Amino acid sequence: MDLAPAAKRDRKNRRGPGWTPLLFILPFAVPFILIYLIPIIYAAYQSLFKLQRTGGIFGKSTQVFGWFTQYAAVFSSADFRSSVIRVLLFGVVQIPIMLILALALALLLDSTVVYLKRFFRIAFFVPYGIPGVIAAIMWGFIYSPGLSPIVALLKKLSISVDLLGSHVVLWSIANVVTWTYAGYNMLIIYSALLAIPTDLFEAAKLDGASNWQIARRIKIPSILPALILTAVFSIIGTLQLFTEPIVFSQISTNITSSFTPNLLVYNAAQNNYNLSAAISVTLAVGTFILSFGFLKITARRAAS
């Protein structure tokens, strides 16, 4: 820490901050470059190679440069396409439901029609503290016919539904994700609500505006940046979906090895690393475009 004294005297004679900002940023920048930048560059590089076997099917395989062969394989793969469509469908349905729930809860916590706010706020946030693997194990138990008290209860009401069935399991996963992150998003929105100056809507209230009008006309527009932030994080999370499906794949045969793009990456890595790298890069670029595009569109809307 004491690289200071000599540099300190120097600085007093200088105008700019000199090397100081660099010294502050370097401890973060070095691991950031090692852990974030180099791997993605390395993956992009690896994705341009392909394996070539010489001397028949049991011959030695060597890596040769293959330009975009792997990407051609990625984009022509039916498995890849269906996994992307699956997570997009998931996101289009699950993200709005979760964020509307989070927004409703945040607005209620910020309103005057609810009691025990502190208690509710903590209780709704608890699921976020539960690791994804454990949440998935827990819900997997609740979905399992024969073990689950919920399925048993539904059966008594003569509703029989296989929550791990081929058409239902995606939405069972959506429920786990909603359950885990609704409270977290609620809290982000809620703290944005707390930051709105109260006189803004106290005035509206004196003017006779209803709670609903205040929420729609004043509160929601003021917390738009927080809502956008939660939406972007949700988009990134959805495209990365991995933990819940891989845990459920142990209790349901309906989760294939290519259920989500990330499962595909993981399974492809077992025998064709170059292909796996190409899928990773495609996924990272796609995530980037989607989240960045979403930011741009919402920023333009907010400006107009």
Partner 1 sequence: MSILTDTAGAITTPNSDSAKGPREHPASIVASMTFMLVCLVYFLLPVYILVVAASKQQTQLASTNGMVPGGSLFSNFGALFSQQDGIYLKWLLNSVIYAVGGAVIGTILAAMAGYALAKYQFKGREFVFNVVLGGVLMPATALALPLFLIFTKVHLTNTYWSVLLPSIVSPFGVYLSRIFAGASVPDELIEAGRLDGSGEFRIFFTIATRLMAPALVTIFLFQFVAIWNNFFLPLVMLQNQNLYPVTLGLFSWQSQISRVPLLQSLVIAGAVIAVIPVVAMFLSLQRFWKGGLSAGSVK
Scanning residues 234 to 253, which ones bind partner 1 (CB under 8 A)? 236, 239-240, 242-243, 247, 250
CB 43 within 8 A of CB 280: yes
Q: How far is the CB of 170 from partner 1 (least distance, A)?
A: 19
Could you tell me where the DSSP H helices lie in the chain? 4-13, 20-32, 38-46, 69-76, 78-109, 117-125, 132-143, 149-156, 169-194, 198-206, 211-214, 220-222, 224-239, 243-248, 261-268, 273-303
When binding is defined by CB under 8 A, the residue of 85, 97, 122, 161 that contacts partner 1 is: 122
| Residues paired with residue 50 on neighbouring β-strands, in sequence order | 64
Q: What sign results for the dihedral spanned by CA atoms 8, 14, 18, 21?
A: positive
Q: Which of residues 42-101 bind partner 1 (CB under 8 A)?
A: 42-43, 46, 101
CB of 303 to partner 1, least distance (A): 13
| Interactions with partner 1, residue window 259-278 (CB under 8 A) | 262, 265-266, 269, 273, 276-277
Using CB under 8 A, which of 154, 232, 256, 267 touches partner 1? Answer: 232
CB-nearer residue toward partner 1: 94 or 262: 262
The tally of CA atoms less than 13 A away on the side-chain side of residue 259 is 23
Place of tokens 């200071």: 4
Where does this chain touch partner 1 (CB under 8 A) — which range of 71-79, 84-92, 155-163, 187-195? 187-195
165 within 8 A of 255, measured Cβ to Cβ: no
Least distance to partner 1, CB of residue 273, Å: 7
- Residues with Cβ within 8 Å of 191's Cβ and at least 6 positions away in sequence, in order, are 226
> Which listed residue (69, 77, 111, 272) binds partner 1 by CB under 8 A?
111
Q: By C-beta, is 133 or 297 nearer to partner 1?
A: 133
Of 13-52, binders to partner 1 (CB under 8 A) are: 16-17, 20-25, 27-29, 31-32, 34-40, 42-43, 46
Strand partners, 61: 53
Q: Residue 1: count other Cβ atoms within 10 Å of its Cβ.
A: 3
User: How near is the Cβ of 167 to partner 1 at its closest, in Å?
Assistant: 23
Interaction with partner 1 in 126-185: which residues (CB under 8 A)? 126-134, 137-139, 141-142, 146-150, 152, 179, 182-183
Report the residue number, 9 or 56, with the smaller CB distance to partner 1.
9
Residue 51 structure tokens = 């394996």
Q: Which stretch binds partner 1 (CB under 8 A): 62-70, 83-91, 92-100, 196-204?
A: 196-204
CB under 8 A, 24+ apart: contacts of 281-284: 281/40, 281/43, 281/44, 281/47, 282/71, 282/74, 282/75, 283/239, 283/240, 284/40
By CB under 8 A, name the one of 213, 272, 291, 298 that touches partner 1. 291
